[in-house]
Structure 1
């Protein structure tokens, strides 16, 4: 098969489309013939040499895909050759085929085209596990989403609204702010012009920035609020005011998805299938796709994501 290989740490130009051995399903795994793969910022970090895959995981980038099951190993439940699926991966998605534990595989939701389904697994599992499982967002509470125009942001807005929460989103351009409103955000804040900590009080904050926002995130929490940090685009080291945290009886959580063991991912995936997929099938939530790029042109897709000007997901199509 062909796959994108990172020839050396560096810029997008180090991504090479070349022949590699086909994957074989191990026990508890299926092989998916890939229709499309999602591009995530973690892939950019891996390309730069800053985010290596966990031990034993494919060096090929790609944390999510959609496609068709073509082979299954032993001890696989509920999947067979020919099934149209999408999957949460620890790596290997930028390829024509990928092996994945069956617990991390989801059916393509009704009404979603196969290629577009690649935009769903990573964002759905990230938002469900962090906003609802860890953050315990409840109906009527306020969610503050940083990076509302991102893949995670666009999904978080829709899912929180579908569960009856109030949503505030930050973004850095008028176009992105307008899109956040269209997706259901009750309030939008241009982080280039306004201080969100002076404008909003939130019960749950989903943060992709990290250190740069830490103090202001704590200041923006309601009593009993939960800050969930899932990214470090603004640095990894910050000063935490424990007095402010204690005064609010609030909590700070930092989580990652890729490094979790398969059984933990399986719990998240089942939660997504049971609680999120019916909303997608009903049209209450839709994947937001900025552009679909041929997989051989992965370097161009990475440049789009690095520019920060996209809204929603950038996908790589393996369909010729």
Structure 2
């Protein structure tokens, strides 16, 4: 067994700002509790929430590591006395409240999953935040069913790619919006029936035409703002709008009469601050419904680009360029 050092490299944010606010620092290896797993991190996934945290708009919850990183993959370096599910040396990935941009991270075992199939650490680091978010919002809150239709905004993002593949695999028809024709072709190759370029097409009109004016059963929205009213317009009777981010603004107009007449449901969620009990439940859903589909190749991780840990500023700049298709990953260890 490799000895655990006393210190580790991390990416820190001493002062909010642009990508250059991310700095390489040294911190103590975190302590871990009886119900925790200490992971030697090999790779960490980037998420939009990391960008918000870097800007000072999304601080870590109380008790969580202060540096960014909501998902990571690596090997178990140590385990708490109550942990029976994993042992030292196991290959795992984990959903985190923070701290993924580090060589070690401690996390409750309820948020740790085995790496499915033959995936490597880079691929596995793209899974936890994405699939915890997609499953909880599409299937727990959005109640998406086999045979229903789904509209996913931001289809070429990590969330979008996973939502397209999973909903398609579980029997739904998927439409999506993207910002370029190249991304549209990419999403249709992944399984979207139609990808709509929102810069050149009106997604409300396109969805009406694609569904014979019936609308879709569920909309998964990470835009907010002006999209809220338009999302309500594309929902079928008893449709569900699920909001998971506010990239287009935190406020939007709601047609209350439309909601009443069509019996629509408007909901949303954030994941980071949810209790570990909820995350443990979602973990079991993933192990039952999603991990086998990843292991057999039905669902495949899509990694856009890999950066070394010290190059985290460049990785954030790449994310903010919005040119990526798939996940951006930091390579942390071997």
Task: State the TM-score, normalizing by the size of structure 1.
Answer: 0.99
Matches within 5 A, 1:307-318: 307-318=321-332
- Answering whether residue 28 of structure 2 is matched by residue 18 of structure 1, we say no
Q: Where does 1:48-127 land on structure 2 (aligned, <5 Å)?
A: 48-127=55-134
Aligned length: 320
Query: 1: distance between equivalents of 2:84 and 2:205?
Result: 50
2:242 matched to 1:242?
no
- Give structure 2 stretches of 5+ with no counterpart: 1-7, 208-214
Q: What do residues 252-306 of structure 1 show as CA deviations (whole Å, max 9, x unaligned)?
A: 0010000101111111111111110000011000011000100111000000000
1:284 to 276, 280, 298: 298
Counterpart in the other structure of 2:184: 177
What is residue 45 of structure 1 aligned with on the other side? 52
1:310 Cα deviation (Å)?
0.2
In structure 1, stretches of 5+ residues that fail to align are none
Q: Is the 8 A contact 2:223 2:245 kept in 1?
A: yes
Task: Say if 2:137 and 2:268, in contact at 8 Å, map to a contact too.
Answer: no
| Per-residue deviation, 1:247 | 1.5
Moved beyond 2 Å, runs of 4+: none
Pairs within 5 Å for 1:103-182: 103-182=110-189
Determine helix, strand or coil for the equivalent of 1:252.
Answer: strand
String of CA shifts for 1:77-128, please: whole Å, max 9, x gaps: 3111111000000100000000000000000000211221000111111100
Alpha-carbon displacement from aligned partner over 1:34-75 (angstroms, at most 9, x marks no partner): 010000000000000000111111101000000000111122
Question: In the alignment, does 2:265 pair up with 1:251?
Answer: yes
Say whether the 8 Å CA contact 1:77–1:102 is kept in structure 2: no
Q: Does the Cα contact within 8 Å between 2:225 and 2:251 map onto a contact in 1?
A: yes
Q: Is contact 1:204-1:225 (8 Å) kept?
A: yes
Q: Distance in 2 between matches of 1:192 and 1:274?
A: 38
